[in-house]
A and B are shown apart, each in its own frame.
Chain A
Amino acid sequence: MWKWITTTDHKRIGILYGVTAFVFFLIGGLEALFIRLQLAKPENALVSAETFNQLFTMHGTTMVFLAIMPMSAAFFNYIIPLQIGARDVAFPRLNAFSYWVFLLGGLFLNASFLFGAAPDGGWFGYLNLTSRQYSPGINIDFWVLGLQVLGIASLAAGFNFIVTIVNMRAPGMRMMRLPVFTWMTLVTQIIVVTAFPVITVGLVFLMFDRFFGTTFYSVAAGGDLLLWQHLFWLFGHPEVYILILPAMGIVSEVLPTFSRKPLFGYAVVVYSGALIGFMGWGVWAHHMFASGLGPIADSVFGATTMMIAIPTGVKIFNWLATMWGGQIRFTAAMLFAMGFIAMFVIGGLSGVMHSSPPADLQQTDTYFVVAHIHYVLFGGAIQGLFAGIYYWFPKMTGRLLNEKLGKVHFWVMLVGMNLAFFPMHFIGLLGMPRRIYTYRAELGVADMNLVSTIGAHIIAVSLLFFIYNVWRSWRKGEVAGNDPWGGATLEWTIPSPPPEYNFTVIPEVLSRLPRWSVTQMKAIPDVPPEPIHMPGGSYWPVVAAVGIIGMASGAVAHTLWIVLASGALLVFSIFRWAFEPFEV
C-alpha cells in the first residue's frame, strides 16, 4: 500500500490511472443509466428535475474529465516510456503528483453528491445560469473548483509527457520513427498545455464572480454572456481532440499488428493528426451557431469545421489501406479497433451535418447532437481505449485477457451502443431537446427513447463480461511472454510485465519498426550488464495534492483558515519536494 502511495514508477502510476479512470467510468455509466431510465417513457417521475440536472451534468463532466482523459493517461504512463526506450518519464514525482491531484479532484467533484449538491449547470456550465444569482447553491462551486484542480493535474502531466517524448527517446529514435501512439500523445499534450489555460481563465473569472462579486459575466455591469461561451469552447473544441487523438493513436498501433502490415502512409497519418490538433483551434464557434454570431462568422466557422473533416477522412482511408492486403487476425483488440472505424465514421458524418450552420440550427441542443458526441466519444474514444486495453493488458500484467470473453464483450457492446445512440438521431430530428428530464408523449419519440434505454443497459451488460474477464485473467490468464501479438514496437522486446527499470540496456533504434525490420536491432540482454540506478519513492507529491484539494474544500465551505492552512501545506510540500534527496 505504502509502496503504491509513494510510487514514482510510471508503470504503477499507469495502472493507478487506469483502475481509477475505470471506476469513474462506471460511476458516469451509472449516472447514464439513471438518465436513460428516467427517459424510458414520457412524463416519467423516477427522479426529480433537480436530480436529473445533476445526473446529466455529472455524467458529462465525469466521462470527459474523469474517465476518458485519465484512461488515455493510463496508456501514456505505461506505454510511452516503453515505446521510446526510456526508463521512466522525465519527471517521475511530478507524474505521481498529477495522478494524486486527478484522484482527489475526482473524489472532490463526486463528494458533492454527499451534500445533495452535485453540479447542475450542464458540463459546459453556461453563464449566466451558473452565476451566483441564478445558481446560489454550492453545486456550481464544486464544479468551478473541481475543474480547476483537474486542470492542474492535466497541465502537469502535459508538460511531463512533452518533455519525456522530446528528450527521453532512445538513441536512434528520431521523431519520424516514433510509434504513432507516441506521436498522437505528443500532439494531445501540446493541445492540453495550450487549451487548459483558456478554460482556467474562464473558470477563474467565474470563481471571482461567484466568490468575490466581480462582474466578468454580469450583463448589468456591461459584460457579455458570450464571453464564457467563447472561452469555454476555445478550450472545449480542442478538448474533443484531446479525447479522440489518443484513441486514434492506439488504433494506429493495433491495426498494423493484427494485419501484419506496417501502417499505410505513416507520415501522412502523423501529419494529419498534427493538422487536426492545429485546426482544432479554429472551429470553436461551431458550438455557438444558434447564439447569433451573424452570417459572416457562421460561414467562416462552418467552412473551417468542414476542412477538419479532410485530415480525419485521410486517417480513415489510411487505416483501411493498412488492412488491405494484410492477414487480419480478429483478436478482441482488432475488433475494437475496427469497431472504432465503423462507429467513428458515423460520428464524423453527423459532425459534417453540424458543420453546416443552417442545418445545425435544427440540430444543436437536441438529441441529434447527443447522438453525435456519443458516436465520437463512445464509438470512437471508448472503443479505441478498449482496443488499447486488450492490446496492452498482457504487457501490463504478463497475462492475456480471455479472447472469447473479449469478443462477447465487443459484440454485445456494439449492439448496445447502436441501440442506445442511433435512435437519438431521430429523437433529435423529431424535436426533442437535450437536457430535459421529461417529455410529452405527443412528440412521438417514446418508443425510440425506450429502445435507447434498452441499448444503454445492453452496454452495461457488456461491461460485466469485461470486468469478469479482467478479474479472472489478471490472476489466471494465459501467460503472455514478451510479445504475444508479434508487435513491431519497442515495448514488445522486454518482459511482461517489464522490470522496474524497463530496459536492461537502453536500446539503439535503427528503424521505425524495430522488431519487423530486416536490419535487426541488437538483442536486449535478459539481465542488466551493470547495476541500474532507479529513483526511490516520495510522499511529497501526495502531500502537495492534499494541499490543493484542501484549498478547494475550504473554498466550498467558505472557510478561510482551511484555505490558508492547505495553501501553507502545499507550499511546504513543494519546498520539501524540491530539496528531497531523491537519488536513494
Chain B
Amino acid sequence: MGALLATTACGGPFPQSTLHPAGDLGFEIDRLFRLIVWLAAGVFVIVEGLLIYVAIKYRARPGQPPPPRVHGHTLLEIGWTLAPAVILIIVAVPTIQTILRTDGPAPAGALEVSVIGHQWWWEYRYAESGVVTANELHLPVGRPVVLSMTSADVIHSFWAPRLGGKRDVIQGRTNRLRFTPDSVGVFLGQCAEFCGESHANMGLRVVVEDSASFAAWLVEQQRPPAPPDSLSAAAREGLEAFRRIRDPASNTCIICHAVQGVSGGLMGPNLTHVGSRSRIAGDMLPNTAEGLAQWLRDPLAVKPGSKMPNPGLTEPEIAALVAYLQSLR
C-alpha cells in the first residue's frame, strides 16, 4: 500500500486521484488520510501477524495433553480495550481540527460560484460577474473559492478529487464547499451521488488558471454574442434552425437553451459561449464539429436517458447548427 501511495503521489496518469491533491482541502484530507493509513497498517500487521503466529505455534500435534482451560485475563483485556482507544484519540484529534479548519466560514475576498446540479450536467453561476456556464468551472489559482451548491432535480455530488472532497448537491438546500486551488491545470471530476440513468455521464472539469487568464476569460464570457449579420452564411442558417419552432414543441432548441439576445430557456445549459468550452454533454464529447454533430444527431445514444430528446434534425440542419454553435465563442 505504501508503495502504491508513493508511486501515485507524483500524479501523472491518474487525473482523478485523491492521493495527488492540488488544493488546500485536498492537502488537508490527504495528510489526515495518510496518518490513518499508517496507524491502520500498524494494527493490520499486529493482528494478522498474531493470527499467523498463533496458527503455526499452536497447531494441534498428536499425543498432546489437553490444553489448560484459561477463561480470561482481566488485565490483558483492559489493556486491549485501552490500546484501540488511544489509537482512536490519535485519529480523532486531528480529524476534528481538520473539520474546524476546512468547514468554517469563507475567508473574505473568496470567489463565490453557485453550482446547480442537473440530470446530467453542471451549471455554474459566478456571483460577482454574472457569468453563467456549464460543466467547465474556471477558477483563478491561489484565490479561495466557495461553491454554493444546490440541485434542480435529484441529489448529485460535486467531486473534483484533486481539489478536495465531495459535497452533496441537494434540492432545497445550499451546501458549501470551500477550497483554494494551488496549481494551474485542468482537474477532472464527476458526479459522485447516484442520480439516475446517466449518473456515469455527468463529468465535469475545473480549469485553474493564473489570475490574468481568469480575468480575460471572465471578460470574454461577459461579452454578448456576435450580431447575426456578422455571422457566416452557414452559422446564420444555424441560428434560424436554432430558433425554429418544431413539432413536438419539446424538440425546439430555444425552449430549453439560453443564448443571450436570442432565447431564455433554462432547462439545458446556457449556450451563449458554448464555443469557448472544450467539451460538451457533461464532459462526454469533445467540442468539435464531429462531437457536436454526434450529439445533435441522437443525444440519447450518447447519454442514455438524456433530458434532451432526439430533435429529429436533417443533416444540413445539423451542419448549420454546428457552425452556429461554434460561432458562440
Using a CB–CB cutoff of 8 Å, the interface residues on chain A facing chain B are: 48-50, 53, 121-122, 126, 128-129, 134-135, 219, 223-226, 259-262, 264-268, 290-292, 294-295, 298-299, 302-303, 306-307, 309-310, 313-314, 316-318, 320-321, 323-330, 338, 341-342, 345-346, 349-350, 352-353, 355-366, 426, 429-440, 442-445, 516
Contacts and interface: CB of A to CB of B under 8 A. Distances in A.
B55 A362 contact: no
A290 B199 contact: no
Given A129-B195, A265-B72, A429-B19, A358 B102 contact: yes
Given A260-B67, A338-B55, A290 B165 contact: yes
B70 A362 contact: no
Contacts of B288: none
Given A306-B88, A310-B81, A328-B55, A359 B192 contact: no
Interface in B75-114: 76-77, 80-81, 83-85, 88, 91-92, 95-96, 98-100, 102-104
B40 to A, nearest CB: 4
B16 A432 contact: yes
Contact of B47 (A299, A316, A321): A316
Given A268-B77, A302-B92, A129 B194 contact: yes
A225 B157 CA distance: 14
A355 B54 CA distance: 30
A302 B195 contact: no
Interface in B19-40: 19, 28-29, 32-33, 36-37, 40
A310 B92 contact: no
Contact of A433 (B69, B76, B191): B191
Nearest to B59: A328
A306 B90 CA distance: 11
A352 B48 contact: no
B257 interface: no
Contacts of B32: 356, 358-359
Nearest to B173: A292
A213 B56 CA distance: 64
Interface in B135-159: 153-155, 157, 159
10 contacts: A128-B155, A134-B196, A225-B173, A268-B77, A306-B91, A326-B67, A345-B44, A357-B95, A362-B29, A362-B161
A257 B36 CA distance: 36
A309 B197 contact: no
Interface string B261-274: 00000000000000
B59 A330 contact: yes
B88 A352 contact: yes
A291 B51 CA distance: 39
A128 B60 contact: no
B175 A303 contact: no
A121 B95 CA distance: 32
B193 interface: yes
B304 interface: yes
Contact of B33 (A313, A353, A426, A516): A353
B172 interface: yes
A362 B33 contact: yes
Interface bracket on B: 35 or more
A309 B159 contact: no
Contacts of A307: 88
B61 A292 contact: no
Nearest to B29: A358
User: Which residue among A219, A299, A430 has the maximum number of chain B CB atoms within 10 Å of its CB?
Assistant: A430
A341 B15 CA distance: 36
A50 B59 contact: no
Contacts of A261: 67, 69-70
A219 B305 CA distance: 23
A362 B166 contact: yes
The 9 closest A-B CB pairs, nearest first, are A431-B16, A361-B165, A436-B200, A219-B172, A292-B175, A265-B72, A327-B60, A313-B84, A317-B80
A294 B103 contact: yes
A126 B155 contact: yes
B58 A359 contact: no
Contacts of B197: 49-50, 53
B88 A309 contact: yes
Contact of B164 (A310, A356, A361, A435): A361
Contacts of A330: 55, 59
A313 to B, nearest CB: 4
Contact of A431 (B18, B67, B104, B194): B18
A486 B8 CA distance: 52
A325 B58 contact: yes
B247 to A, nearest CB: 24
A190 B104 CA distance: 40
Nearest to B39: A352
B170 interface: yes
A331 to B, nearest CB: 10
Contacts of A437: 200
A430 B155 contact: no
A356 B200 contact: no
A353 B99 contact: no
Contact of A362 (B18, B170, B198): B18
B167 interface: yes
B68 A325 contact: yes
A353 B36 contact: yes
A126 B193 contact: yes
B58 A324 contact: yes
Contacts of A324: 54, 58
A310 B168 contact: no
B59 A262 contact: no
Given A298-B103, A306-B91, A349-B43, A128 B171 contact: yes
B59 A442 contact: no
Nearest to A56: B194
B148 to A, nearest CB: 11
B219 interface: no
B80 A313 contact: yes
Contacts of B28: 358
Contacts of A350: 40
Contacts of B230: none
A336 to B, nearest CB: 14
A366 B77 contact: no
